[in-house]
Chains A and B, each alone.
Chain A
Amino acid sequence: MMAEIRMREALRDAMAEEMRRDGNVFVMGEDVAVFQGAFKVTEGLMEEFGEKRVRDTPISENTIVGIGVGAAMAGLRPIVELMTVNFSLLALDQIVNHAAAIPYMFNGNARVPMVIRMPGGGGHQLGPTHSHSFEALYLQVPGLLVACPSTPADAKGLLKAAIRDENPVIFIEHESLYGIKGEVSDDEDEIVRFGEAAVRREGEDVTIVGILKMAHVAEQAAAELEEKHGISAEVIDPRTLRPLDLDTILASVRKTNRAVIVEEGWPHGGVGANLSTLITEQAFDWLDAPVQRVTGADVPMPYSRRMEQAAIPHEENVIEAVLAATEGAIGPGKGGS
C-alpha cells in the first residue's frame, strides 16, 4: 500500500517499523522522547516503545555519540539524533576517531552498527551555528556511510537500510524537506539500498546532479530549461554519497557530455568538487564542456533573510550553470540532439 505522507512521518515510520522488528534498535538524543524531537520526527515513539528505548539525553553530543558507539559495539543498534548538523561537530571525535575507525582497528571483530541522524541546511534564518551543510565533511571519512534523502520514500527506505547496516551511517536530513509530502510504501520489508542513484528526470543535453533540497531545485530548473531554453536535462539524485552510484552518473554524462552538480554546501572540497574530479578522471573523453558546480556561497550562513537566500543556490543559478555548460552546443542553428 502506498500513502501520501510527510518526510518527518516517513522517517518516524522507518524507526518505528525497525524498532518493532528488532528489539535491539533504540533511539536517543536531545528532546527526542518527551518533546518528540525538535522537528517532531520522533513523534509517538516514546508512547509506543517506552522511555527505555526512546531516551532523552543531556546537551552533550560527544557523549551521546560515544554511548551509541559503545552500545553498537556491545550488540545494540542505536539511532542517535543530533539536533542539527552543526552540533555534530562537537561529536566529531566519536564519529571520526571511533565510530568510523573501530571496525578497522579491530579487524572487523568489533562492529559499529549505528545511525547518526542530523538535520541541516539553511533557509530558516537560524544563522551560521544551525544552518550548515556538512555532507562533504562526512563524505571524506572512510568507514562512514553517508545518506542524504530528498523524498519521503527515500527517507524511509534509506533509514530502514541504515538501521539494518553493519556500518556507522551519517544520515543527513534537510530541515526544509521535513514537511514535503510524497507517496511512501507501508511495506515493512521495503528498503532503499545504499549506492543506487535515482534518475529523477531523463534528458539528453546535460546531466544535473543534485542532493537533498538541491535535488528538487535541479528538477525545477530542468523543467524550466526544457520549457524556456529547449534544453533537455537529465536529473540524478545520488541518494547516498558513500557508497556513491558513480556508474549511473557516468553513464548519464557519457550520454549528455555535460555535467552540472548542485549542492547547498560550500564550494571548496565540496560534494561537487569531489564528483567533478571523479567525472573528469573517468569520463574525460566524453566531456564537451567543463563540469560546472553550483554551490552555496563561500561564507558562513548569514542570518539576514535576504542574505541567507542569496547564499543558497536557486533555480536561476542552476539554469545559469547549465547555459554555461551548453553554450554553443545547443540553440538555434545547432541542430541540438
Chain B
Amino acid sequence: MSEIVMPRLTDSMEEGVILSWLKADGDEIAVGDELVEIETDKASMVYESDLAGTLEILVPEGETRPIGEPIARIGEASPADAGEAVADGDPVGRTSPGVPSGTPTAPAQAPVQDHDHAEHIKVSPLARRIAKEKGVDLSGLTGSGPGGRIIKVDVEAASGSDPATAAEPASPAQSAAASPPADSAKGPPETVELNRTQSLIARRMSESKATIPHFYLRTVVDMDRAVEVRAAFKEEATEGETVPSLNDFVVKAAAIALRRHPIANAAFRDGHFELYPKVNVGIAVATEGSLIVPVIKDADHLSLAEISEETRRLAGRVRSAEITPPELAGGTFTVSNLGMFGVTGFDAVINPGQAGILSVGEVAEKPVVTDGKIGSAHLMEITLACDHRILYGADGAEFLASVKANLEEPGLLA
C-alpha cells in the first residue's frame, strides 16, 4: 500500500486543488495512467500515476491540499492489508488491542496509523501551541516524530526562530543554504535573517500573488466634505480629545459598505465562498522593518469616534510590540493607507482569506472641472484589489461606489 501525495507541479506551488479524478475509486491503475487533474497556482495539470495497483481516493474533488499531503493510496486488494499490519509489530499488542502485552514495556505505543482521517494532521499538543503562537501553518510541515507526528523541532525549524536555541550557531546545513555564492557580481551581500513576522509576510504575500487572481478598480473621491467635517470635529474637540483622522473616515465608510455588500466581506476558500457575518476591518500598520495588520472588530457597529480610539489603541500596541495574536486575527477586509507618505495611489496585495483590500492614497487639493469650469477640491484616490474568484468586476465596482458615496457624504457615516 503506497500513498500518492499532492505533487509539486510548479516551483511556487504550495497547495493544489483536486479538480477531477480521472479514475474511479477501486480502479486498477497502471504506471503512466492519467490519474487526477490538479489546479496549481499557475495552471491545471494532469498528474500521471507512477505506481500500479488499486486506487483508493482520499481527497474528494474540489478540495485543497498542501504539497506532500496524501491524496490517494495505491495498493493491492484489501486482504493484504491485515497481514501487513500484524507483521510489523508486536503480535500480542496487535491482536488484543487495549490489553497490554505480557512483557513489561511501555503500553502507549501508537497502533497502526489511522488512515480514515486523512485530513487530520498529527501534531503534538506542544507543537500545536507553539505553531499557534508563532503563526506557523501546520499543514505544510513534515513531522519528525513517530508516525510522522509534527513535534516541537519541526515547528521551530519552520518558524525559523527558536528562542531556546537562538544563541546557538546554525547547523552546517543551514549555513550552507544561507551563504551567497562567493563570486557574486553584486559584491558580498549583507545577509539578514528574517524574523517570524517577516517570514510570515513573505510567505503570505507570495501565496497571495501566486494564487489569488487580483484585479484592480480605481476611483477618485471628493473629500471636501470629509475635510470640512473633520475640521469641525477638530474645532469642537476639547483638550486631549481624539479627533478622527481621514483614515478613520475611510475605515468607517468601508465597514458600512461591507455590510451592504456581503460578497466583499467574504473569502474564497477550498472551492467555496465563505461569507462572514461580522465586519472586521484590518488596518495595515507599518513598524520598523515590518508590517502588522491589527483588526478593528465589528467596525460596522462602531462610531467614528470609537473606530478612531480603537485604531490608536491598536497602533500603539503594535508599536510597543504588545499586540497579541487575537488582536490580529479575524479580519474580513483590509484598509491600507500610504497617503501620509505622499503616495497618490497604489495597488495593495490581498491578505489571503479575504476577498479584497482597499489602497488609500493622499488627500490633496487639485483642480477639478465642474460644468466646464475649473475649480478645486480635496481629492483622494482609492483602489480596490479584488480576488476575482469571488469578487467580480461589477460587484467590486458597486462596493467601491458605496465607499466613495459614504466618504463624499459624511452624514452617511453617522
Contact = CB atoms under 8 A, between A and B. Distances in A.
- A joins B in a complex: yes
Interface of A: 257, 260, 267-268, 276, 284-299, 310-314, 317, 320-321, 324, 327-329, 333-335, 337
B94 to A, nearest CB: 16
A287 B126 CA distance: 5
A329 B149 CA distance: 10
B109 A324 contact: yes
Interface in B282-338: none
Nearest to A337: B164
B104 A257 contact: no
Interface stretch (B140-148, B239-247, B270-278): B140-148
27 contacts: A260-B106, A267-B100, A284-B125, A285-B128, A286-B126, A288-B125, A289-B151, A290-B110, A291-B108, A293-B106, A293-B107, A293-B108, A294-B104, A297-B103, A297-B104, A298-B100, A317-B104, A317-B105, A320-B105, A321-B105, A321-B106, A324-B106, A324-B109, A324-B146, A328-B149, A328-B151, A334-B144
Given A292-B106, A296-B104, A297-B104, 7 more contacts: A267-B100, A288-B124, A288-B145, A290-B108, A291-B108, A292-B108, A328-B145
Nearest to B162: A335
B252 interface: no
A320 B146 CA distance: 13
Contacts of B214: none
A285 B152 contact: no
Contacts of A292: 106, 108
B203 interface: no
Nearest to B98: A268
B271 to A, nearest CB: 33
A290 B146 CA distance: 10
B220 interface: no
Contacts of A311: 102-104
Given A285-B125, A289-B145, A328 B106 contact: no
Contacts of A312: 104
Shortest 5 CB-CB distances between A and B: which pairs?
A328-B144, A321-B106, A328-B145, A285-B129, A288-B126
Contacts of B173: 333
A294 B109 CA distance: 11
A327 B100 contact: no
Contacts of A297: 100-104
Contact of A329 (B101, B153, B168): B153
B191 interface: no
Contacts of B143: 328
Given A329-B153, A335-B165, A298 B99 contact: yes
Contacts of A328: 143-146, 149, 151, 153
Interface of B: 99-110, 124-129, 143-146, 149, 151-153, 164-165, 168, 171, 173
Nearest to B171: A335
Contacts of B128: 285
B103 A333 contact: no
A287 B125 contact: yes
B126 A257 contact: yes
Contact of B146 (A287, A293, A327): A327
Contacts of A268: 100
Contacts of A286: 125-126, 129
B127 A288 contact: yes
A337 B151 CA distance: 14
A273 to B, nearest CB: 9
B16 to A, nearest CB: 27
Contacts of B149: 289, 328
Given A285-B125, A329-B152, A335 B104 contact: no
A314 B126 contact: no
A288 B153 CA distance: 9
A310 B151 contact: no
Contacts of A293: 106-108
Given A287-B125, A289-B145, A328-B146, A310 B104 contact: yes
B108 to A, nearest CB: 5
A4 B124 CA distance: 45
B231 to A, nearest CB: 52
B104 A295 contact: yes
A303 to B, nearest CB: 15
Nearest to A280: B125
Contacts of A298: 99-102
A288 B124 CA distance: 5
A289 B144 CA distance: 11
Residue among B105, B152, B173 with most chain A CB within 10 A: B105
A329 B110 CA distance: 17
A337 B165 contact: yes
A292 B145 CA distance: 14
B155 to A, nearest CB: 10
B104 A313 contact: yes
A335 B151 CA distance: 14
A294 B153 contact: no
A328 B146 CA distance: 7
Contacts of A317: 104-106
Contacts of A324: 106, 108-109, 146
A257 B152 contact: yes
A267 B151 contact: no
Contacts of A310: 103-104
A292 B144 CA distance: 18
Contacts of A320: 105-106
Contacts of B105: 294, 317, 320-321
A328 B104 CA distance: 24
Contacts of B107: 267, 293, 295
Contacts of B124: 257, 287-289
Contacts of A313: 104
B9 to A, nearest CB: 29
Given A295-B100, A299-B102, A334 B153 contact: yes
Residue among A289, A298, A337 with most chain B CB within 10 A: A289
Nearest to A334: B153
A313 B165 CA distance: 35
A122 B248 CA distance: 76
A324 B147 CA distance: 11
Contact of A333 (B104, B127, B171): B171
Nearest to A268: B100
A67 B102 CA distance: 40
A320 B126 CA distance: 22
A327 B153 CA distance: 11
B146 A335 contact: no
Contacts of B127: 288
